[in-house]
Amino acid sequence: MAGEPQSDCLFCKIVAGEVPATIVRETETTVAFRDINPQAPTHVLVIPRVHYPDAASLAVGAPTVAADLLREAGEVAAQEKTDAGGYRIVLNTGAGAGQTVFHVHAHVLGGRGLNWPPG
């Protein structure tokens, strides 16, 4: 059920401490950790502790946590000092858009020039 931990979900396991991660920030509702395959000098993933597959379902099921996720993305950018130079928050949704882990996660990318439109 949405919101409940999923036994086969990698990011639920990171939330539970069952899979190690380099955590950079934590709140009551979110965890932020470094991406294992960084695409920029700063590449941090911000996830809700609750399991929802994507951003839209999180916003429907737990709107305050969706707001927490975006606020924390900004806090990560500030902590990483990428906020002045500009940063990007990416929420890949669906396999066709490159989503590989179906526990919603905001990529926070910064520390280099970021082209637009993205690939």
Catalytic (active site) residue 103: no
Answer whether 16's CB lies under 8 Å from 5's CB: yes
Determine, following the binding rule CB under 5 A, whether residue 9 of this chain makes contact with Zn ion.
yes
Question: Judged by CB under 5 A, which stretch of 22-30, 68-76, 88-96, 103-111 contacts Zn ion?
Answer: 103-111
- Taking the complex as a whole, how short is the minimal distance between the CB of residue 11 and ligand AMP, in angstroms? 8
Q: E strands of 1-119, at which residues? A: 23-26, 30-34, 42-48, 87-90, 106-110
Determine, following the binding rule CB under 6 A, whether residue 35 of this chain makes contact with ligand AMP.
yes
How many residues belong to the chain?
119
Determine, following the binding rule CB under 6 A, whether residue 98 of this chain makes contact with ligand AMP.
yes
- The site that binds ligand AMP (CB under 6 A) totals a number of residues, namely 13
The three-class DSSP label of residue 109 is strand
Which strands make up the sheet holding 106-110, listed edge to edge? 23-26, 30-34, 42-48, 106-110, 87-90
Tell me which of 9, 70, 101, 114 binds ligand AMP, using CB under 6 A: 101
Tell me which of 43, 49, 51, 107 binds Zn ion, using CB under 5 A: 51
98 Ramachandran zone, left/alpha/beta (phi>0; psi -120 to 50): left
Residues that bind ligand AMP (CB under 6 A): 10, 19, 21, 33, 35-37, 45, 92, 98-101
